[in-house]
Amino acid sequence: MRYNLQKENLRRSIKLLNEQQIDLWIIFTSEGSDPCLPFVTGVKTVGPGAFLITKNHGKLAVCSTIDAQDIEECGLFDEVRTYKGDLDEVLKSMVEEVAPSTVAINYSECYPLADGLTVGRFRWLQEMLHEVYQNEYISSESIIKDLIIKA
Quick: pLDDT tens for 16-44. Answer: 999 999 999 999 998 888 999 999 999 98
Q: Identify whether the C-beta of residue 22 lies closer than 8 Å to the C-beta of residue 55.
A: yes
Amino acid in position 126: Q
47-71 mean pLDDT? 96
In this prediction, residues 90-105 reach a mean pLDDT of 98
Mean local confidence (pLDDT), 53-57 = 97
Strands (DSSP E) contained in 2-146 are 24-30, 48-54, 59-64, 79-83, 103-105, 137-139
* Helices and strands per DSSP (H, E), number in the chain: 6, 6
Task: Give every CB contact of residue 83 below 8 A, 6+ residues apart in sequence.
Answer: 62, 63, 64, 65, 89, 90
* pLDDT given for residue 1 in this prediction: 60
Average of per-residue pLDDT across 126-133: 96
CA dihedral 95, 150, 122, 28 (to 10 degrees): -60
What percentage of the chain exceeds 90 in pLDDT?
Answer: 90
CATH class of residue range 4-138: alpha beta
